[in-house]
Structure 1
Amino acid sequence: MSMNSSPPPLPPGFVAEMDKRLGTEWPELRDALDATANRAVRLHRVSSKNDPGQFLPIPAAIAKHLGPAVPWTTDAFYISQDAPLGKLVYHELGAYYLQEPSAMAVVEALAPRPGERVLDLCAAPGGKTTAIGRRMQSTAFGVEGLLVANEIHQTRVRILGQNLERLGVAALVTNESPDRLATAWQNQFDAILVDAPCSGEGMFRKDPDARLEWSVDSVTACALRQRDILQSAVRMLRKGGRLVYSTCTFNPEENEQTIAWLRDNFDMTLLPLPTWPGWDEARPDWADGNPDLANARRLWPYRGRGEGHFVALLQKEGSVDSGSVTTDGISTRKGVASGAARLSARETHEWTAWLRETTRGADLPEAWQNPRLVGNALFTDQTGALPLDGLRVLRPGVCIATRKGVRFEPHHQWAMSVQSVDPINPLANAAYSLNAAETCQFITGQALPQTGATKSSYVWVHLNGLPAGWAKQVPGRVNNLYPKGLRRVDLLPE
């Protein structure tokens, strides 16, 4: 559909249902769904706060496009419809994530903390996972705890992996069904997010195709699938653990009625959420009438500045299960990625020598000195000792390097996983600084200015501390190692 054409009409079944539910408020929702959707951006590597020890300051090229703050989260701002943030070079460096503003409330509800074990069960495309990673202070030198991002669809899990890489979030990434994960990972997580696949009514003005795909039958089918996913999530949650359930739809069958079913069939308590500006309490009268359903929250686009959303926070009853827990809540159970192996003694010696040469002798943690080998790729181990045998694992952690014959080559994900404000930046002594215009050229694959190097070495390319990738300087030239599949020719410096 072109930008100037009208959206498809609202589905008659949806109109009838919302007219019945909302009564005199239905015209307000109808008109809101024909209005323009809101745009927003969540800062990631940069911050509006004065916190030089963790995040970088906002470059002026970004700051000039930021509008009012999104009131239910931090470091997020509304932007205009024509703000070119998706085309700025800073987008490719993971400085921020373009995200629908209502969706930002979901991680606020989950409130992940450093040191916890957190699972994002339906994670693609990665907006919420990367927000969790930021809250857990995810760096190349260890998420403080364990972050697992799962996506069942093969195409979408690769998009998830790409976004985690771009924003530098270290996570275990799996491509599995929730029930298979639940069989392997019972009682493992302190917090689980189920951002459930749904009928998408809340996206009717942002995504006109959602109107065409909607049907009464799809609502029922989604509700049944959501219950299957939630059953698996409860099995993986520890006693005392938190579960956040969210959808981007309006209908009670997928929202209040699903939460009432979950509460009644499992030992789950519905906890109150903040009264965020523009959000309403959920509707007990649209389910079983139990007043605790009002603890969940709804955003109606005629009341709040965002798209339609539903969020509920629940806690698994009982004291924290410590049966397999040691210091900092990390499970003692053993498990490595399927197909993963350790380097041999000879390979470890070669690896250690290469790593010290590449980082100019930086002091590196054990996870980097003794990585996991999957095929020809070397990864840090972000598995948290979860049993992974038989599961489809896209990435067990940060890919540091690939082995090519008898030599190693640094991987792009390693470059993107650090920035100059990390507590320990292993690449600070091997850095190659560019300005914004030069970084745009670097991402197109162009060669870099010579440095006068007298011997070959890898250099970490960055823009004022924001990671861009790798290059290799050799006498007389600097070779661009930016991955060909990620190169863009349409980026702007400001």
Structure 2
Amino acid sequence: MTSQDSPRLPEAFEHQMASLLEANEFMRFKAALFTPSKTSIRINPRKKAPLPQNTSPVPWNVKGHFLPQRPKFTFDPLFHAGAYYVQEASSMFIGHILNHIKPPKEGLYLDLCAAPGGKSSLLADYIGEEGLLVANEVIKTRASILRENMIKWGLGNTVVTNNDPAHFGSLEGFFDVVLVDAPCSGEGMFRKDAQAREEWSPENVKRCSARQQRILDQAGTLPGADGYLIYSTCTFNEQENEEMIRFLTDEFAYEPVQIPLDPEWGIVETETDTEWGTFYGYRFFPHLVSGEGFFITVLKRPSDAQFQQPKKMKDLKHILLQRTSKAEKNLLRQELTLNDTFDFYKLKKSFFAIKRAWTKHFEVLATTLNIKYFGTELGKFNKDQFIPTHALAISILPKNFPHYEARIEEAHTYLKKEDLDLNIQHDGWVILTYQNLPLGWVKNIGNRINNYYPKEWRIRMKIVD
């Protein structure tokens, strides 16, 4: 490649970064933007699957692993089973933050700008079966992707919503942790995305900064007393990072939080002086860390801030959502091996399970926000026949159904939603597994095996085994 053909950085971006970095360091930074990035995954700890060979650990997250090369994830049945999430390593630092600040696992969490779902699945991992996560996305198509990824993750502790941040106005002080991974100018993605380089401009930075202020103006009141707001971007400039810390502390009462770092990680701690003290940020430069560009900061609400505790509603007034009757609960418990810690709702004709400890909060959310998915969708009754959902099959809920362990060729045929020729001895509903992880349902009706993999999720690419 000649120098004339070499990729270039926007001139204004170079000037911006030269002001952040010393001359020698800037040249190393610039060179790093044109070197190959590493592919990393984060393992789903509640779906036991073997690790790929020759991985290396992400230093700040024990569940994160770098791969020696990027495989065709579409062709891996474990990817479709939710065994891991393909996530950029820098953003996995959120796990280190949670382990340090130790917010209550039995708390209520919000990921305000959640799609496609990597950070939401990380929050869901942290709270496990004890807490509840609201994963929100304002763009409808991206909310559908978020819904799919949270279903695949399978924990059943998430409510997926499709709302503008302004719609959360009545939920002041409602959450223990609020994550705002704000839409940004994408400077941290320059290495992976040439289009991000081409679309960058100082004017776009200003537009992103204004959008971030609007989002934070809504998000700033959402954490309750002693709650946390975590703000992040995948960009380097101070307008979208440190200036947002100043905006937050000018508008709302927050206290600084400092996160411990291992010097070997290469993460740069920044300090932002405000009227209310020095606040800390953490910047990831691609010439210093094995990851892409990233910025994150943590702020804590004071103990005298508002904390909103929901009251139980006498009646759930919702046009589509209903509480289940006692008879319906008994039917569900006959079909499924779910204990008394779960409660059930009916959305249209389909039944959902959610932890009973969170029903008061969920009903407030359901009457306030546009709910796209929640808990685990179980299935519906057609007369006396129970028809289970794909979400139930790949969830971590206990399932008293026969299993069929598929070979790789059979798994590929299933994921392409093609006709199956399987030696299944059981009649009726059977969970197809690969390496002991559920992929979804098939139904043996005697003369054929019906493939119930969701049509909209099927693999459309030609698979080369």
443-452 or 86-95: which moved more?
443-452
- Report the counterpart of residue 204 of structure 1 in structure 2: 190
Does the CA contact (< 8 Å) of 2:77 and 2:434 recur in 1? no
Residue 388 of structure 2 is aligned to residue 410 of structure 1: yes
Match of 2:379, SS? strand
SS at match of 1:187: coil
Aligned amino acid, residue 332 of structure 1: K
Which residue of the partner structure matches residue 332 of structure 1? 311
- 1:68 corresponds to which residue? 56
Aligned to 1:131: 122
Distance in 1 separating the partners of 2:17 and 2:261: 23
Aligned to 2:378: 400
Partner residue of 1:292 out of 261, 278, 283: 278
Structure 2 equivalent of residue 18 of structure 1: 17
Partner of 1:140: none
CA distance, structure 2, for counterparts of residue 73 and residue 463 of structure 1: 27
- TM-score, normalising length: structure 1: 0.83
1:467 and 2:448 aligned: no
Matched, 1:91 2:79: yes
User: 2:108 — aligned with what?
Assistant: 117
User: Is the Cα–Cα contact under 8 Å of residues 118 and 147 in structure 1 kept in the other structure?
Assistant: yes
Task: Tell which deviates more after alignment, 229-238 or 68-77.
Answer: 229-238
Which sections of structure 1, spanning at least 5 residues, go unmatched?
46-53, 138-142, 325-330, 419-424
SS at match of 2:220: helix
Letter in 1 for 2:432: V
Alignment partner, residue 266 of structure 2: 278
Q: 1:356 aligns with which of 334, 351, 355?
A: 334
For residue 29 of structure 1, what is the amino acid of its counterpart?
A: F
Q: 2:425 aligned with 1:447, yes or no?
A: no
SS at match of 1:156: helix
Q: Structure 1's 83 and 396: CA in aligned 2 closer, same or farther, altered over 3 A?
A: closer
Cα distance in 1 for residues equivalent to 2:384 and 2:136: 34
* Alignment partner of 1:378 is 2:364: no
Aligned equivalents of 2:5, 2:399: Cα separation in 1: 51
Aligned to 2:68: 80
CA–CA separation in structure 1 for the residues paired with 2:464 and 2:259: 40
More divergent stretch after superposition (219-228 vs 375-384): 375-384
CA drift of 1:319 comes to 4.8
- Opposite residue 374 of structure 2, the aligned amino acid is P
Checking the alignment, whether the CA contact within 8 Å between 1:202 and 1:307 is kept in structure 2 is yes
Which of 322, 335, 341 is equivalent to 2:322? 341
Q: Which moved more, 1:386-395 or 1:115-124?
A: 386-395
Deviations 1:162-211 (A, max 9, x none): 11111213211100011111x23121111111111111111111111111
Gaps of 5+ in 2: none
Secondary structure, counterpart of 2:278 in structure 1: helix
Deviation at 1:433, TM superposition (A): 2.8
Aligned pairs, number = 447
Partner of residue 159, structure 2 = 172
Q: Is the 8 A contact 1:89 1:492 kept in 2?
A: no
TM-score (norm 2): 0.87
Q: Which stretch of structure 1 is more off in the superposition, 374-383 or 155-164? A: 374-383
Amino acid across the alignment from 2:92:
M
Q: What SS does the aligned partner of 1:173 have? A: strand
Larger mean CA deviation between 388-397 and 195-204 belongs to: 388-397
Q: What per-residue deviation string (whole Å, max 9, x for no partner) do you get for residues 319-364 of structure 1? A: 586662xxxxxx435467652013456xx35x7446624x4xx354
The whole-number CA distance in structure 2 between the counterparts of 1:341 and 1:240 is: 34
Q: Is the 8 A contact 2:42 2:63 kept in 1?
A: yes
Q: CA deviation at 1:29?
A: 1.5
RMSD over aligned Cα, in angstroms?
2.8
Measured in 1, the distance between the counterparts of 2:74 and 2:330 equals 39
Q: Deviations over 1:58-102 (max 9, x none)?
A: 42xx421x4221101112111133434453111111111111111
Match of 1:184 in 2: 170
Identity %: 30
SS in structure 2 of the partner of residue 389 of structure 1: helix
Which string of whole-angstrom CA distances, capped at 9 and with x for unpartnered residues, describes residues 281-321 of structure 1? 1154xx7698723x321111111111111110110012586
Q: Which residue of 2 aligns with 1:308?
A: 293
Alpha-carbon distance between aligned partners in 2 of 1:466 and 1:199, rounded to the nearest angstrom: 38
Structure 2 counterpart of 1:30: 30
Query: Which runs of structure 2 are paired with 1:156-167 in the superposition (5 Å)?
Result: 156-167=142-153
Alpha-carbon contact 2:410-2:420 (below 8 Å) kept: no
- Counterpart residue identity of residue 422, structure 2: P
Aligned-pair CA distance for 1:381: 3.6
Give yes or no for contact 1:436–1:493 (8 Å, CA) kept in 2: no
Cα distance per residue 1:472-491 (max 9 Å; x no partner): 22234432211122222658
How many angstroms apart in 1 are the aligned matches of 2:411 and 2:400? Answer: 18
Larger mean CA deviation between 467-476 and 404-413 belongs to: 404-413
Identify the match of residue 218 of structure 1 among 185, 192, 204. 204
Q: Is the 8 A contact 1:448 1:479 kept in 2?
A: no
- 1:151/1:157 contact within 8 Å kept: yes
